[in-house]
Amino acid sequence: MSALEIATADWPLHGLEDDVRDFLAKAVENQEKVALATVYSTSGSAMRGIGAQMALTEHGVAGSVAGGCIDADLIHRGLEALESGKPLWLTYGEGGPADLQLPCGKSIEVLVETLPSSDPALHALLEARHNREHVVWMSDGYCRSCHRLEGDGRSRALAGVIGSPSFIWRRHPPRHRLVVCGHDSSMLILCRTAILFGVETVLLRPVGPETPPPIGGLHYIRSCSSDTIAHLRPDPWTSVIAATHDSDRDATILSAALLTDAGHIGLLGSRSRWPRLEKMLHDRGFSAAQTARIRAPVGLPLGCKTPHAIATSTLAEVVKDLSGQGEDLPEIMALQDAENRSGIGAVGDFGFRRVKPKEGVAAAYSY
């Protein structure tokens, strides 16, 4: 289905894909130029919010910024940008076209930029995605760069605008990842639902059957040892859940998780299980401050104990703990200030630098 057909389709299936990086990777693989739209400012309430993105080529669309007629118009504007090669700074709602007002907010502001498949910043973004690195994308519509960030950034804002002339910035953290150690029905439902939610999902089952469960997109490992956990290298965007119903094995899983940077650690089971497991962990040398990282029992309280409810409450807690909003990053302000002063954005981590072009000249990159 072409982008124009998607704009007038009965169902907005493009909005089912929230993270557009997979779509960008396919565009690079197919050597297609892509238009990337990013919401960098909102006023009032908005259905999506700052950082929402849409990406499109002539042959497809992924992501949504507001839904309905706004998305449809943005697809048309994105195609215009692909044809002209020039960025578009758009306002929808208050201050925008009279026939494109927002029912749930005052306004949203969107930058649409065009990216050739050979764009170095785009390749840096996709390389960071592959390596599970936390980066920030900076662009004025013509010039763009991709910088590695330190720390987990889970309490920071997702996107914004700084400087004059304006630069937008948009953080791209690693995908949320879920490591489940267990195989009961609630955990299988959790894995299936997490994959639909866009979470990279790994199921560990010690000495499990060779055939994985029939859940598309699931990574299955027939081991649940501390070495297995360590090999996965849980980071601040990873959740590790012990759900084997065996105290010794769960203690081993939790011990291994506590030695990592996992952003969420959970134990499936009743509240009465936790005191014994906590003592086992203390006996292994972990302090009370360390074991306080563990959510026991895992999941937000829903008042229902069906397998589907347990899976839903667990995934909700995982997303809550691995996500967050906050203030602008000082590193981003420093990067933008350096670019304004020198005209050069150094991106040594990825082997290229952004060179600010002269007026009327396209953006240039050097290796």
Report the chain's terminal Cα–Cα distance, integer Å: 37
Q: Which two tokens stand for residue 4?
A: 């124009």
Mean per-residue pLDDT over the chain, rounded: 86
Rounded to 10 deg, the angle between the 247-258 and 274-283 helix axes is 60
pTM: 0.85
Say how far apart CA 178 and CA 234 lie, in whole Å. 9
Say how far apart CA 298 and CA 300 lie, in whole Å. 7
> Mind listing the pLDDT tens digit for each residue in 9-46?
889 899 889 899 999 999 999 999 999 999 998 887 76
Say how far apart CA 235 and CA 264 lie, in whole Å. 9
pLDDT recorded at residue 150: 79
Say how far apart CA 69 and CA 73 lie, in whole Å. 6
Beta bridge partners, 364, equal 355
Query: Checking DSSP bridges between strand 177-181 and strand 200-204, what pairing results, if any?
Result: parallel
Q: Which domains does the chain have, with CATH numbers?
A: 3-174+326-366 (no CATH), 177-322 (3.40.50.720)
Picking from 364, 365, 348, the residue whose alpha carbon sits closest to that of residue 147 is 348
Any idea which of 34-43, 106-115, 240-249, 347-356 has the lowest mean pLDDT?
Answer: 347-356
Q: How confident is the model at residue 164 (pLDDT cuts 50, 70, 90)?
A: low
Torsion of CA 61, 63, 69, 74, to 10 degrees: -60
Say how far apart CA 13 and CA 212 lie, in whole Å. 29
Say how far apart CA 367 and CA 353 lie, in whole Å. 7
CB atoms within 10 A of CB 268: 25
The residue to which tokens 């309280």 are assigned: 301
Q: How confident is the model at residue 239 (pLDDT cuts 50, 70, 90)?
A: very high
The residue to which tokens 């804002």 are assigned: 157
CB 104 within 8 A of CB 45: yes
The pLDDT of 217-241, averaged and rounded, is: 96
Beta bridge partners, 354, equal 345, 365
Instruction: Return phi, psi of residue 185, to 5°.
Output: -65, -40
pLDDT recorded at residue 362: 31
> Mind listing the pLDDT tens digit for each residue in 80-96?
999 999 999 998 887 77
